[in-house]
Each structure stands twice: as structure tokens, then as C-alpha cells.
Amino acid sequence: MGVQQAFQPLRRHGWIRIIGLLLLAAALPACTGIKLGYNNGVDLAVWWLDGYVDLDKSQTRQLREDLVLLQRQHRQQQLPSYAEWLNQAQTLVANDLAPEQICSMGNQVRGFVDELLLSGESAATTLALSLTPAQLAQLERKYAKNNAEFRKEWLAPEPAEMRAKRYDKALERAEMVYGRVTPAQKALIRQQVELSGFDPQLLYAERQRRQTDILQTLRQLQRAAPGAADTLQAVRGLLQRATHSPQAAYRSYVAALAQQDCQGMAAVHNSTTAKQREAAVRWLGSYEKSLQELVAQR
């Protein structure tokens, strides 16, 4: 639990990363490596994507050129907004937080993601037009492998084992933000995990839906051989469906889980001491400083 979860929306949905939108997300897990990760974001994105579709030399060259331009624009136009968000968040976490405030912070981050997707549509369209049937077959095999790993990690364990795993992760995140937590806070975090409506089966079903949508859309584009404008529209729709599921039941689940998470995070945050909140402020401040330094590297 904790403020760090506000960044989780930036690390969602694999296909977003496929088109190179790792430029920020890949850097966020460890503050000490954020500048290194961001400055090497293009190489990371190309390497990551190559593992999915086995890029040829021409695709690699074009993708790298597109991502260099995208990263340059992102550094100048979007990173300052992220730094400002972090600055505002520091003021908020110094005080008690209502669930609505935490949800609002998360909504702002999702807005950043949508903006990032919009800026990457052109690169995604160019890439989609270049993919071959063999590469889509490779992508399908990669999905199957990843799904097997997901089932092993999230579906195979017994419920008690899964809750223990989620508790350990939540505790790790809380201590990353606040430092050492008290036994009472650990009990509160465990309670939030126990009460959570988290459902890996629903996540897996949505994961499969997105993968099927991606493969079907890309194969339809290949069969129809549309122009760039038609492909851009198809890619835009695909990105929208990846981030905003067309399944009403899943959207309701996500909304309910988000509200539950906001309530749980507020409860944990409001139990923290002045010293712990100072640690959270420093943690956010270190990210803000790193982003400001990245912006200055123009």
C-alpha cells in the first residue's frame, strides 16, 4: 500500500509497451535509476519489442528513429507536468488524505498515460504497417508463453498463498515510501489485502481479450492493406480498448477495486507518523528532482 501505488497505472497493459511507451514507465520502479532508465528508454523499448516480434533491421532503424523523436517531445512537453504533479503530491502526503484525494491523484496519472498514448500513435501506426504474418505468429507465441507464466504466478497458488504474496508486495511498497512500518500498520495492511476484491481470474480474462483484439486487428490490417489514415484510426481504437476495456463488467470491477484501494491507502497513510510522512515527502521529492534534471538535459 502507499503513495507508490499511484504510479501503477503507468505500468499497465503489455501492448502499450510494445509500441515503445516504456519511456517513462521503465524508469519508475527504482528512483536511483530513473535517469539512467529514461535516457536508455529507446534502447530498452526496442530490445523489449524485439523479444515479442523479432524486428528486422529496417524496422529496428525506423522504430528507433520514431522513439527518439517521441522521447524528445515527451521530455520537453510531458516530463515537466510529471514533476509538477510530484511537487503537489508532496504537499498532500504531509497531511491526512481522504480516499477521494488519492483517487484524484491516480486519475491524474491515468491522464498522463492517455496523453502519452496519443503522442505515440504515429510510431505505433508505422510499426503496425510493417509487421509481417510471421511476426504476428511470433507475437501470438509470446503471448501464450506469458499467459502460462501468469497462470503459474497468479492462478495456480491457493488463495491463502496468494493473499500472503500480495501482503508481502503491499508491505514492500509501503516501506519503500514510508520506511519501517509498525506492527499495527502491518496488521492494517494485511486487513486491506484480506478485504480486497482483487480477482486474478478477471485480470486474466481481460488480458486474453486484449491479446485477441490486438492479433485480430493487426491481421485485419494486413489482409485489407489500408492506407496510413485507416491504420492510424485502427491503432487509435486498439489503444483505447487496451486502456479502457469495452467490457462493462470489467470496467465496473476496475472502478470498484480502485475505490477500495483508495480507501485502503488512505487508511494506511492516515495511520503514519510525522517521521513516516517526512520519508514519503523525501521519496516523492527525489523523483521530482530526477525528472527536473531529465528535463534540463534537453
Distance CA 270, CA 211 (A): 39
Supply the pTM of this predicted model.
Answer: 0.85
How confident is the model at residue 3, as a pLDDT?
Answer: 40
How confident is the model at residue 232, as a pLDDT?
Answer: 84
pLDDT over 60 (residue 22): no
pLDDT in tens, 68-90: 999 999 999 999 999 999 999 99
- Check if the beta carbon of residue 79 is closer than 8 Å to that of residue 294: yes
**217, HSE (Cβ side, Cα atoms, 13 Å):** 24
Distance CA 50, CA 52 (A): 5
Distance CA 35, CA 27 (A): 7
The cell for 243 is 486502456
Tell which phi-psi region holds residue 197, choosing left (phi > 0), alpha (psi between -120 and 50) or beta: alpha
pLDDT in tens, 49-71: 999 999 999 999 999 999 999 99
Averaged over 164-171, what is the pLDDT? 95
How confident is the model at residue 113, as a pLDDT?
Answer: 82
Which pLDDT band holds residue 114 (cuts at 50, 70, 90)?
confident
In which residue are the cell numbers 496468494 written?
162
- Taking CA atoms, 132 is separated from 182, 274, 278, in Å, by 55, 57, 53
The cell for 164 is 500472503
Question: Helix-strand-coil percent breakdown of the chain, rounded to 5?
Answer: 85, 0, 15
Task: Give the H/E segment covering residue 152.
Answer: none
pLDDT over 70 (residue 21): no
pLDDT in tens, 204-247: 999 999 999 999 999 998 887 667 778 888 989 998 898 899 99
Window from 141-145, 159-163, 228-232, 278-282 with minimum mean pLDDT: 228-232
How confident is the model at residue 40, as a pLDDT?
Answer: 86
Residue 5: closest CA among 159, 78, 109, 155: 109
> How many Å is the maximal CA-CA distance in the chain?
61
Please indicate whether residue 4 or residue 129 has the higher confidence score (pLDDT): 129
